[in-house]
Amino acid sequence: MKKALICGISGQDGAYLAHLLLNQGYTICGTSRDAQISSFQNLLHLAIRDQVKLESMALNDFRSVLQVLTKIQPDEIYNLAGQSSVGLSFEQPVETLESITTGTLNLLEAIRFLGVPIKLYNAGSSECFGDTGQTAADETTPFRPRSPYAVAKAAAFWEVANYREAYGLFACSGILFNHESPLRPERFVTQKIVAAACRIAEGSTEQLYLGNMQIQRDWGWAPEYVEAMYLMLQQSQPDDYVIATGESSSLEEFVAAAFASVNLDWRNHVVIDNSLLRPTDLAVGKGNPVKAKDKLGWQAKYKMKQVVQMMVEAKRMFSKS
């Protein structure tokens, strides 16, 4: 029976990954900065909270990381932890850099120090590519990060590549494009849109305030994307992969789909708020997942409109319960 350590298990991806690995017969340990006070709502939502062992671990503290790895002795580590909001990274750049870059380095160094064959998955990000224009980014596309979050993720990516080449570690990064689900908190714009549309459909008179609606993103379905993480660690050789649908849609199209799914016209309920614009933003994000299809046998089944529909259905079901 394999044992997996999931850093950042309380988040969207961590919870779905734990659910997937439990179904694969894994023993799961998840970490949080303070496991005693964390609610782990997403694990409760998926009804797997009691099937997961939880440990407190501070990723930016090497001693803490080393202690947990020594205690748990995992076969696989999935590093999904760290500050995860692009927008918040402009307000908290130091916390973002430390939680992502130092945290990743501590995991790599702890694996090297222990000298055991632990496989590491690192959560990369499509934000590292910056603005790719109409060209779909693949694994050879240069990084041009445009936010503190993207800078931190780019540094962590190269740390993983360096340890793989220098020390022979089985370490790889998944460069994931945007992926959504009902487990997204409302500070993410996709869930903010879905939640507002559902409330307005139920009679709320509120207006939805949004920033730049012309940005384009490659939106996928999070439960599918964690399958790609798992598959990367089942390969004979470690490598990095772009995970995406290969299709981009504008935020306006996302909004239109969300409101249409509750029989509303978004133009009657949305207000553009310039205070929500970021200092720098990406006009277009689009991924080329051909390598993942060829090497991992992974391909996205759900595209943006289906993702929106599933999020709306889940939100409406939750509000009734």
When pLDDT is cut at 50, 70 and 90, the band that residue 283 belongs to is confident
Q: Which long-range contacts (CB under 8 A, 24 or more apart) does 40-43 make?
A: 40/9, 40/10, 41/10, 42/10, 42/11, 42/12, 42/14, 42/15, 42/183, 43/9, 43/10, 43/15, 43/18
CATH numbers and ranges of domains, the chain: 3-179+221-243 (3.40.50.720), 182-217+248-285+303-320 (3.90.25.10)
Rounded Cα distance between 307 and 309, Å, is 5
173 catalytic, yes or no? no
Q: Is 149 a catalytic residue?
A: yes
Contacts (Cβ under 8 Å, ≥6 apart) of 113: 66
β-strands 76-79, 53-56: how paired? Answer: unpaired
Please tell me the predicted confidence (pLDDT) of residue 170: 98
Active site residue: 125, 147, 181, 248, which one?
A: 125
249 is catalytic: no
Rounded-to-integer distance, Cα 234 and Cα 17, Å:
14
The torsion defined by the Cα of 233, 234, 236 and 240, in degrees rounded to 10, comes to -40
The per-residue pLDDT for range 223-246, each reduced to its tens digit, is 999 999 999 999 999 999 999 999
Active-site pick, 149, 225, 241, 302: 149
Interval 4-27: pLDDT, tens? 999 999 999 999 999 999 999 999
State both tokens at 17.
């990954």
Distance CA 163, CA 107 (A): 11
Q: What would the pLDDT profile of 128-161 be if each residue is shown by its tens digit?
A: 999 887 889 999 999 999 999 999 999 999 999 9
Please give the model's pTM, rounded to 2 decimal places. 0.93
Residues 76-92 have pLDDT tens digits of: 999 999 888 888 889 99
- Other C-beta atoms closer than 10 Å to the C-beta of 115 total 8
Active-site entry in 16, 32, 99, 127: 127
